[in-house]
């Protein structure tokens, strides 16, 4: 792999920060056996981070969304930042990730991959196949993927146990990425956490999951700590204020029904941005301006 280090692409130093160029590539998408592999690669430093997508899953997540989550995890591991540059494979597998990069202000573009990123992705896919027991003397020759993948598919299909473990689930990959985990709040209603079955009080942070089942729209709520995935989106606006000698974190939301400010006693009109927080178990609310001044 070290042979792919390219001499004329040295790191760029700006204000003491090293800006890296990250390549994002996948492998194994064309093979009907085994899940895909995704990689995050920096040619300048030779860093390779990789993740494996399972053959199937059942947590209602779309394929592209699952891939996006894995990429975010790899970026965390790599310490990759918005200052860095990203060159990403244009394949469908990365569509949700492309959107996520744009929404979060990353400097990125699509790129036709070769070099280290391509080799790292193929190498990691091959390593996964070998770990399953595939004969070591068979590999990719002269970039003839169809022949290589056919051999893997035949090897998997020839054994019922292997087929159950390693055959790619196409259906789960076709499902659109409808389920959306969004970090928001419970507004004026109490909800029940889908995971721990305990109550989530009104005016508290909560992760909402929306999906369709048998044509019906379903909404589930989780405590943020109970959510099976880290939400990609946040609609939660929080404010930390000084309260009786310590800090108190609450929400800013449009007031659902007329109430009065705990601090100044004046009315708070429906729709007006309002601060809500729990002081121990007691709900307090009012004008954000009044609470900022405490
Ligand atoms: Zn919970
Ligand atoms: Zn007030």
CA of 242 to the centre of ligand 2 (A): 15
Examine the domain organization and report whether 82 and 205 are in the same domain.
no
DSSP E strands in the chain: the ranges are: 12-14, 17-19, 21-27, 37-42, 47-52, 85-88, 107-110, 180-185, 191-192, 199-200, 205-213, 216-222, 233-234, 238-243, 246-254, 259-260, 267-268, 273-279, 282-286
| Dist. CA 211 → ligand 2 center (Å) | 39
Ligand 2 geometric centre to CA of 254 (Å)? 15
Nearest ligand by distance to the CA of 204: 1
Q: What is the pLDDT, as a whole number, of residue 9?
A: 46
Structure confidence at residue 8 (pLDDT) = 41
Regions of the chain with pLDDT less than 70: 1-18, 59-60, 176-179, 212-216
Q: Are residues 221 and 268 in the same domain?
A: no
Same domain, 29 and 163: yes
Give the CATH number, domain containing residue 41.
3.30.420.10
Q: Are residues 98 and 149 in the same domain?
A: yes
Cα–Cα distance for residue pair 50/40, rounded to 1 Å: 6
Predicted confidence at residue 217, as pLDDT, reads 73
Ion ligand 1 contact residues with beta carbon within 5 A: 193, 195-196, 223, 226
pLDDT the model gives residue 62: 84
Measured in Å, residue 238 CA sits from the centre of ligand 2 at 17
Question: pLDDT at position 65, please?
Answer: 87
Tokens of residue 69, six digits: 């989550």
Same domain, 148 and 283: no
Residues 213 and 276 occupy one common structural domain: no
Q: Give pLDDT, residue 60.
A: 66
pLDDT at position 143: 85
φ/ψ (deg, to 5) at 195: -90, -55
Q: Are 94 and 88 in contact (CB under 8 A)?
A: yes
Q: How far is 47 from 286, CA to CA, in rounded Å?
A: 51
Query: Is 20 strand, coil or helix?
Result: coil
Q: Are residues 157 and 190 in the same domain?
A: no
* pLDDT (0 to 100) of residue 14: 54
Question: Which DSSP symbol is given to 11?
Answer: P
CB 84 within 8 A of CB 101: no
Say whether the ipTM exceeds 0.90.
Answer: no
* Domain count along the chain: 3
pLDDT attached to residue 232? 76
Query: Which-ligand-closest: CA of 200?
Result: 1
Q: From ligand 1's centre to the CA of 222, what distance in Å?
A: 5
Tell me which H or E stretch contains 98. helix 95-103
Distance of CA 290 from the midpoint of ligand 2 (Å): 5
> Measured in angstroms, how far is the CA atom of residue 275 from the centroid of ligand 2?
10
Residue 217, domain extent: 180-234
Centre of ligand 2 from the C-alpha of residue 205, in Å: 23
């Amino acid at each position: 792999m070290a042979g792919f280090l390219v001499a004329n692409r040295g790191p760029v130093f700006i204000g003491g920060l090293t800006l890296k160029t990250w390549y994002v590539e996948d492998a194994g998408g064309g093979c009907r056996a085994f899940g895909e592999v995704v990689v995050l690669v920096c040619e300048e430093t030779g860093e390779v981070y990789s993740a494996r997508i399972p053959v199937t899953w059942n947590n209602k997540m779309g394929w592209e969304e699952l891939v996006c989550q894995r990429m975010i995890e790899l970026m965390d591991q790599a310490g990759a930042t918005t200052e860095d540059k990203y060159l990403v494979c244009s394949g469908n597998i990365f569509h949700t990730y492309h959107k996520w990069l744009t929404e979060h202000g990353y400097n990125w573009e699509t790129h036709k991959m070769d070099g280290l990123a391509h080799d790292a992705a193929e190498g990691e896919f091959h390593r996964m196949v070998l770990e399953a027991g595939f004969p070591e003397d068979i590999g990719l020759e002269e970039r003839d993927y169809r022949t290589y993948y056919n051999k893997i598919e035949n090897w998997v299909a020839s054994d019922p146990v292997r087929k159950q473990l390693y055959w790619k689930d196409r259906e789960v990959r076709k499902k659109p990425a409808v389920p959306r985990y969004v970090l928001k709040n419970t507004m004026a209603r109490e909800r029940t956490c889908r995971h721990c079955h305990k109550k989530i009080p009104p005016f508290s942070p909560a992760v909402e999951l929306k999906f369709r089942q048998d044509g019906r729209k379903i909404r589930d709520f989780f405590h943020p700590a109970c959510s099976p995935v880290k939400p990609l989106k946040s609609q939660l606006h929080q404010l930390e204020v000084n309260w009786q000698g310590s800090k108190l974190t609450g929400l800013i939301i449009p007031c659902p029904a007329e109430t009065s400010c705990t601090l100044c006693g004046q009315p708070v009109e429906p729709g007006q941005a309002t601060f809500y927080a729990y002081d121990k178990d007691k709900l307090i609310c009012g004008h954000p301006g009044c609470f900022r001044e405490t």
